[in-house]
């Protein structure tokens, strides 16, 4: 259905009911503290608790992609004003689970 003045070349479709999708956003964050089990980051964007996030860590010339679960989120103190402190727990990768 095209409305008068609509400059789209194709027809628009009406969405009836919920339509789920994903949204990928790459945001640089600051690593505050890290261990073998997880990391604490300062982020300008608040992540939902218990959500699964993909981290891309750059260490020198090496790049690591790690999935992590958001364990806790709190507002940053004076050092991290305008940012949230987010605790992430590293999740095992498929290669970690194979014998």
pLDDT in tens, 25-36: 888 999 999 999
DSSP string, 35-72: -SSEEEEEESSPPPTT-EEEEEEEETTEEEEEEEEEEE
**pLDDT value at residue 1:** 56
**pLDDT value at residue 94:** 62
Domains and CATH numbers, the chain: 30-94 (2.40.10.220)
Q: Could you tell me which residues are beta bridge partners of residue 74?
A: 85
**pLDDT value at residue 26:** 86
**pLDDT value at residue 95:** 63
Is residue 76 within 8 Å of residue 86, measured between CB atoms? no
Q: For the segment 27-74, what is each residue's pLDDT rounded down to a tens digit?
A: 899 999 999 999 999 999 999 999 999 999 888 999 989 999 999 999
């Amino acid at each position: 259905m095209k409305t008068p003045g609509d400059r789209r070349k194709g027809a628009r479709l009406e969405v009836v009911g919920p339509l789920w999708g994903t949204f990928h956003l790459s945001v640089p964050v600051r690593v505050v503290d890290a261990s073998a089990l997880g990391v604490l980051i300062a982020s300008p964007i608040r992540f939902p608790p218990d959500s699964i996030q993909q981290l891309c860590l750059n260490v020198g010339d090496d790049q690591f992609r790690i999935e992590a679960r958001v364990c806790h989120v709190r507002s940053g103190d004076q050092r991290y004003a305008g940012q949230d402190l987010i605790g992430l727990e590293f999740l095992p990768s498929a290669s970690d689970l194979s014998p």
